[in-house]
Amino acid sequence: MIKIRLANISDLKELNELITLSARELSRDIYTEQETEGAIKYVLGVDTELVEDKTYFVIEKDGEIAGCGGWSKRKTLFGGNQFSGKKESTYLDPSKDAAKIRAFFIHPKFARQGLGSMLLKYCEQQANLNGFTQLEMMATLPGVKLYRTLAYKAVSDEIVMLPNKALLRFVRMTKNLKEFNSWG
């Protein structure tokens, strides 16, 4: 049985452990070890603002946490609590701004079973119910193929210099919900 539910503060430790495992396993052939470990230490993780806003979710399969991800009505594009990059808590205007798709990770044991797609479509619906018709994300390289399959378009390649001197590559991606109804 598959269930999507709101993430809770009590989930944070388990979700951050899942994110670490997901990043290490699913990025193995894409990022170097230095890039992956730098990403885990300095960028990837849960942003508790999403949990507090009730826009971060857990997907469970047979009662086990299989993944997490969310959307945001705030300007911050990416990064967990530990990320020292640009954090902008200002609310977005749904009539002109894109909701942010944030922090999607699947446990390697549940990878390639459609759970990430299911959770992403759920987040798109939630953002749309809150008035957003545009979506934007900063995708890690392992997710780009999935996001393209779900009608996200790459708009730029981005590089973030991490404190460990690794250059972490991302792809900024967007989706217009008016052009493509992914849950219909």
Is the confidence at residue 184, as pLDDT, over 60?
no
Tell me whether residue 62 is in a domain. yes
Q: How do residues 98-144 score in pLDDT, each as one tens digit? A: 999 999 999 999 999 999 999 999 999 999 999 999 999 999 999 99
How far lies 50's CA from each of 40, 56, 138, 182, in Å? 18, 5, 16, 23
> What does the pLDDT read at residue 88?
77
Q: Is residue 137 part of a domain?
A: no
Indicate whether 156 belongs to any domain. Answer: no
**Residue 38 forms part of a structural domain:** yes
Domain assignment present for residue 77? The answer is yes
- CA distance linking residue 138 with residue 169, whole number of Å: 10
Residue 183: pLDDT above 60? no
The edge-to-edge listing of strands for the beta sheet with 153-161 is 2-6, 56-61, 64-72, 99-106, 134-140, 167-176, 153-161
Instruction: Read off the pLDDT of residues 29-78 as tens digits, 9 standing for 90 and up.
Output: 999 999 999 999 999 999 999 999 999 999 999 999 999 999 999 999 98
Side-chain half-sphere of 55: how many Cα atoms within 13 Å? 21
Give the domain range for residue 25.
2-132
Average pLDDT over residues 137-154: 96
What is the gyration radius of the CA atoms in the chain, in angstroms? 15
Could you give the number of structural domains in the chain? 1
* Helix (H) or strand (E) run with residue 13 in it: helix 12-26
> Is 31 part of any domain?
yes
pLDDT tens per residue, range 156-178 = 999 999 999 999 999 999 999 98
pLDDT band at 85 (very low <50, low <70, confident <90, very high): low
| CATH number of the domain encompassing residue 122 | 3.40.630.30
The predicted structure's pLDDT at residue 129: 96
- Does residue 138 lie in a domain region? no
Q: Of 48, 71, 45, 57, which Cα lies nearest the Cα of 3? A: 57
For residue 6, is pLDDT > 90?
A: yes
Per-residue pLDDT at 89 exceeds 80:
yes
**Considering the domain boundaries, does residue 72 fall inside one?**
yes
Higher pLDDT, 15 or 83: 15
- In the prediction, which pLDDT does 182 show? 47
Q: How many CB atoms lie within 10 A of CB 102?
A: 25
Between CA 155 and CA 46 the distance in angstroms is 25
